[in-house]
């Protein structure tokens, strides 16, 4: 097996974009992003964390209690990040307030709307692009107001399957 240093990727920078659910997603790492997608701005130095959760259940035989099969009982894809720009798009996403502006937001019990999303991970001219056909903010972290750090809006985005059963598309390429 060969070791190829050029295959090592680092998430140097990137961006997260959200748009109305069912907005046309780019079909490659270099395709144009539909102008309906809005850039969310700076993401904290912690970057973006991808999580794939699945639960399984063992099927046991009567003979000796042998495990004879394992079945998947659930599967979930999510992305977690802390947005550190206080702008209209971030406030709409975090607070689930479609009327939010850069100067006013309403905190209610509204459920977060579904949206489509794209985020790019850049390493020089190498790109990883993740396209989310149907996402929703399902967890929010605390907003902390301190004099020595940026105000952040931590969100976890859960990805739901599209008509093809795909929760997220990942493209690798160059710019």
| pLDDT value of residue 175 | 80
Strand-pair category, 169-174 with 38-39: unpaired
Provide block-wise average pLDDT over 10 residues at a time, the chain (175 residues): 90 96 96 97 97 97 96 98 97 96 95 97 96 98 96 98 98 92
| pLDDT value of residue 10 | 94
| pLDDT value of residue 41 | 97
pTM: 0.92
Domain boundaries, the chain: 13-174
| pLDDT value of residue 64 | 93
| pLDDT value of residue 35 | 97
């Amino acid at each position: 097996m060969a070791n190829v240093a050029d295959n090592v990727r680092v998430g140097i920078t990137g961006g997260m974009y959200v748009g109305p659910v069912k907005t046309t997603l780019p079909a490659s790492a270099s395709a144009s992003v539909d102008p309906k997608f809005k850039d969310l701005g700076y993401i904290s130095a912690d970057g973006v964390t991808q999580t794939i959760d699945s639960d399984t259940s063992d099927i046991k035989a009567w003979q000796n209690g042998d495990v004879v099969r394992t079945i998947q009982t659930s599967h979930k894809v999510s992305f977690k990040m802390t947005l550190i720009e206080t702008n209209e798009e971030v406030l709409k996403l975090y607070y689930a307030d479609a009327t939010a502006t850069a100067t006013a937001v309403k905190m209610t019990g509204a459920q977060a709307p579904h949206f489509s999303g794209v985020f790019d991970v850049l390493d020089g001219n190498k790109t990883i692009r993740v396209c989310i056909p149907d996402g929703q903010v399902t967890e929010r972290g605390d907003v902390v107001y301190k004099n020595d750090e940026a105000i952040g809006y931590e969100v976890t985005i859960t990805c739901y399957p599209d008509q093809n059963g795909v929760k997220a598309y990942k493209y690798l390429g160059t710019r």
